[in-house]
Each structure stands twice: as structure tokens, then as C-alpha cells.
Amino acid sequence: MMMIRIYLSGFLIFFIYHLQAQVTATGNDGATTSAARTYNTGAPMRPKLIVGITVDQMRYDYIDKYWGDLSNDGFKRMVKEGFFARNIQYPYTPTYTGPGHAAIFTGSTPAYNGIIANDWFERSTGKFVYCSADSAAIGIGTSLPGGKMSPHYLQSTTIGDELKLFSNKRSKVIGIALKDRGSILPAGRTADAAYWFVGESEGVWVTSSWYMKELPGWVTYFNARKKPDEYLSQDWYPLLDESFYDESSADNNAFEQPFKGTIRPVFPYRLSDLKAQNGRYDLLKSVPFGNTLTIDFAKAAIEGEEMGRDEYTDMLCLSFSATDYIGHQFGIHSRESQDAYLRLDRDIAAFLKYLDETIGKGAYLVFLTADHGGTPTPGYMKTDSAAAGYWKSERMVNELQSYLFTQYGAGKWVINESNQNIFLNHDMVRARNLSLRSLQEDVRQFLLKYDEIAMTYSSSDLSSSSFTDKMGSKVQLGFSQKNSGDVIYVLKPGYIEYGLQGTTHGSPYMYDSHVPLLFFGYGINQGESFAPHSICDIAPTVAAICKIPPTNACIGEPIMQIVK
């Protein structure tokens, strides 16, 4: 009899427990509530908020190089409490800002997502197109042309797009950056909004009619506070004592570009004096305070849109653009670049603390990477007899045109050269009954006579063959059969087409393709790895953590060491 009572009691407890679970899991309409969106452990199935951070032109070595000068709560916290993937590479070329942001968030390369450069020559119209320009779009919050932007050139879904699809549009997805392409391409085509900073005479955060008809009240309020004026009233001094900048070159050297209106590129920079001759509010893009302003606006977006407040995962795509402008102007070895990263480190520390307090520790997921690295300034490198130099494509185009004139007759054979792509005149090829493949091969061989050029590839070979060597594969993964040129060339390591001061990027070499990757927060193992991975592996890793489908053109694989 006692055994029967025990059995019945156990059965009743089991029955009541499951009845309570059913009541908790469904409302009166039978809809599943947040209580049911957990595993048996009680842990939430997905992070409340994903923050995807792209640091424009952040080289892989910066974290280690500046480690002793970093705070404990920024990059160091992400490394010590999160996962540091140390061998992340861009598997394609060119390594520019637009393609980089697109690759991170689509898990694909230019060959698949359509963003083959920041701007490219369009053979069908004979004009250049910009990767986020849209003549049909109307600027919202600005009267300047910088508002006419959208993601209409993007051909694949992003992480944010997949979140929107998975949640039946309940997830909020927002992109924020000083650069329009740094906010638009990561957020994707179905994002709730992308906001970017229009400087010049306005100094405001804006969007376009692709996303909305008018700015939300919180954006209007933020713009009315005139924070850009506050930052431009400051002077840019080094954050730390001069002795801390021993990782960088001397403050005054010939390889850095001074601001307009100044003679030498040296601290301090009095921004109020520089503003008039340096783009007015656009000056903020070229100083560390532009990154701080981006953080300010990101916080306003989280609060204004109530991101991370409900059971549906939201996503904030955040790009720090000022580091790129500073790197271009001063170079990767400058004190200005080092100071920009030390200040960004403190900004990230404050932002992580803010997320702890508003979203909750362990409830949000952050990943941080870069859209490309940066080339050591050739002039600076040559002072130590390094192999480096400068390239002038105009001379090559003129000589190639003369050669083709001699070989094939009068006419304009080269209709464009850009992004190290050469576009030949297909109409003349057809009119003269020539073999396009043979002409491409002739041009390819002609280019190899230049000492600065390392490799050449024809579009015929890129379209019909599979390149297995690393450099050939990178060219192929950045190649579009519809929009790339007839012949693509790659310069030797250390060579750039740029001015003699500052630097640029875009090559397939490690200094441009090797970037950091930090994962931090929800669902992340603590540790580091030197295993090789592609930048295209980030998007499927986030998808795996959030248990959503990968992006539709994804060619990467989840980095399983990162995921708990």
C-alpha cells in the first residue's frame, strides 16, 4: 500500500510539473513565450543582442604590439575572457573597405556577394559605380548627396537578414558607422536601419529612404545635442605620456601627411583651428573622437530602439571608421595611429561596461574583427633597405595603349584601368574579328615586363580554370565574371599606388589580409587558436551560436573551437 502511494505521488508530481510547464510555455492563444525559449538547463537559446564590430584598417599585430599600453577592460578583457582567433585571413583580393565589410557579414567573397571594390568600372554604362550609392534613394536627415545610399548592390544575405527571416521580422537589425558603406553593407538589405555620419556643413547622423521615411525621434534628439561640436572643440593630445609611444616612429617625420593648414604632422592638433580647412565636420572622421561619437550614437540606438529587451535576438553592426582615415594619413607606424587604438581601447572598455549594465553579462555576444589591414609606408620601409616602392599605373596604361595600337591597329584599346583591372574594348575586338582570349593573353604577358608587377591573370582563365595556389585563388575569389576587367595584375609585396606620405591597402599579402578576430560573451569558449581560418567563417560561426541558418551565399564554416 505504501509503494502504491509513493508511485501515485510521483506520478502526480510529474503530471503537475509538466502541466505547469505547458502553462508557462504557452499563452491563452497557444503562442510560445520566452519561458519556453530555453533549453533544459534554463539558459536562453540565443543571445539577447549581437554586436558585430569592424575596426577599419586594424592590423592583426596591433593588439600584441600595444598590449602593454592597453587598459584591462577593453581589448585585454575580450582576449582574456573571450576567444582570440589569431590566424584569420581574407581569402580574396582586393582588400578594401566595402568588400571587407560585406565579406564579414555575408560569409562570402566578392565573387558571390557582388561587392568587388569600393567603386568599380561598369562596362555596360562606361561609368563608375560606388558600392553603396543609389540614385533612387533619398537622404533622410540630410540634403547633401551623401544621403543617397542603400545596399542595392549587395547580392547576398547578411547575418542580420537571416535573423530577420528566422524571427519573422521580430529581430531588430541596425548598422552604424561614420562611413556609409561601413554601416549599410554589414546590416544588409532587410535591416531596420543603417545610419552614417554626414559631415561637411551638417555634422549629423542620417539614413536613406531605403529604410524609412523620416528619422526616429531619438536620432533627431541626438543630432540636436550637437555632440560633434563638443568633440571638435577639443584638442587631440596623446592619451598617455610620450614614453609610452616607443612602439611607434618619431612624431615628426617625412612619411606622414600633415593636416591642411599645418606644416608638420605633430601633436597637439587643435581641432577648432583645423576644422575650416579639413572638411569642417568631416574632420571628425580623421581623429579618434569620431570613434567615440560612434559609441555615443550606438548607445542611443540601443536605448532608442530598446534593443536586447525581448526574447528575439537583435543585432547591432558597429564599424569604427576613424582608424582607417588616420592610418591612411599617418601610416601604420605613426604615433597618431597608436594613439587612436589606445583611445579606441578605452572606448570599447566603456561600451562593454555599458552592455553589462543594460543587456547583462553573458546575455550579449560581441565579435570584433577588421575589414583589412594596412601596408607599411614604402618610403619608411626603404630607409632600412626593405623591398618596397610606389607604382604609377598611368604610365603603364599609356605604354600598353601604344603597344596594342602597333600590334592591332588604331583605336582606343584600353577603355579603363582601375583597382588593378584592365578593361579592353570588346567592340573593337568583335569588329576586327580578334580572339578576346588571345588579346587578353597578350596583355597579360606585356604587363610582366614591369618590375613592380608580380603576377597577372586573364578573365578567360579566371572564368574557366580553378586556381589552387594561394595568390591565384585570392584573385579568383575576388573576381566577378560580370564586372571585373579583362586582365588583373598584382603588384610585388611592399608596393602601392599612393602618395609618398601615409599608406593604403588592397593587396592579397599578409599585411593587408591578416586581421584579428575576437569573440566575447554569450556561448563563447575562453581561449585562443592559431589554426587557419577564413574571414568567411565568422558569419557561419555566429549563425551556429544563434542556431539560425547561415547566409545564403556563405562559403565559410563555423569555427567550432569558439563555440561552447
The last residue of a domain, from among 491, 520, 555:
491
Measuring CA to CA, which residue among 67, 118, 47, 108 is closest to residue 516? 67
pLDDT on residue 436 = 98
Q: Establish if 559 belongs to a structural domain.
A: no
The domain of 433 spans 392-451+453-491
User: What 3-state DSSP class applies to 399?
Assistant: helix
Kindly calculate the radius of gyration of the chain based on its CA atoms and give it in whole angstroms: 26
pLDDT on residue 33 = 43
Alpha carbon distance 57, 375 (integer Å): 10
Q: Are residues 144 and 260 in the same domain?
A: yes
Q: For residue 563, what are the CA distances in angstroms to 315, 522, 546, 559?
A: 18, 9, 10, 7
Q: Establish if 463 belongs to a structural domain.
A: yes
Alpha carbon distance 67, 6 (integer Å): 63
Q: Are residues 376 and 396 in the same domain?
A: no
Residue 46 near residue 547 (C-beta atoms within 8 A): yes
pLDDT on residue 42 = 56
Q: Are residues 95 and 227 in the same domain?
A: yes
Residue 196 near residue 317 (C-beta atoms within 8 A): no
The last residue of a domain, from among 463, 491, 519:
491
User: The domain spanning residue 405 has which CATH number?
Assistant: 3.30.1360.150
Phi-psi domain of 202 (left: phi exceeds 0; alpha: psi -120 through 50; beta: other): alpha
pLDDT on residue 299 = 98
* Set 54, 93, 97, 292: catalytic member: 97
Q: Are residues 128 and 184 in the same domain?
A: yes
Q: Are residues 480 and 509 in the same domain?
A: no
State residue 438 phi and psi, 5-degree precision. Answer: -65, -40
Q: Are residues 81 and 125 in the same domain?
A: yes
- Number of domains observed in the structure of the chain: 2
Residue 79 near residue 118 (C-beta atoms within 8 A): no
Alpha carbon distance 442, 403 (integer Å): 10
Alpha carbon distance 174, 178 (integer Å): 14
Q: Are residues 317 and 357 in the same domain?
A: yes
pTM greater than 0.75: yes
pLDDT on residue 15 = 36
Q: What is the dihedral of CA 392, 332, 54, 68, to 10 degrees?
A: 170
- H or E element: which one contains 142? none
User: The domain spanning residue 88 has which CATH number?
Assistant: 3.40.720.10
Neighbours of 202 (CB within 10 A): 20
Q: Are residues 271 and 240 in the same domain?
A: yes
Q: Are residues 278 and 326 in the same domain?
A: yes
Q: Establish if 249 belongs to a structural domain.
A: yes
Q: Are residues 116 and 227 in the same domain?
A: yes
Q: Are residues 372 and 472 in the same domain?
A: no
Q: Establish if 21 belongs to a structural domain.
A: no
pLDDT on residue 34 = 42
Neighbours of 385 (CB within 10 A): 7
Q: Establish if 35 belongs to a structural domain.
A: no
pLDDT on residue 45 = 87
pLDDT on residue 528 = 97
Q: Establish if 551 belongs to a structural domain.
A: no
pLDDT on residue 93 = 98
Local mean pLDDT, 10-residue blocks, the chain (564 residues): 38 35 38 45 81 98 98 98 98 98 98 98 95 98 97 98 98 98 98 98 98 98 98 97 95 95 96 97 98 98 98 98 98 98 98 98 98 97 93 98 97 97 97 97 98 98 95 97 97 97 98 98 97 98 97 98 93
State residue 81 phi and psi, 5-degree precision. Answer: -100, -15
pLDDT on residue 432 = 95
Q: Are residues 155 and 290 in the same domain?
A: yes
Strands (E), 397-532: 414-418, 421-424, 453-458, 487-491, 495-496, 514-521, 527-529
Catalytic, 97? Answer yes
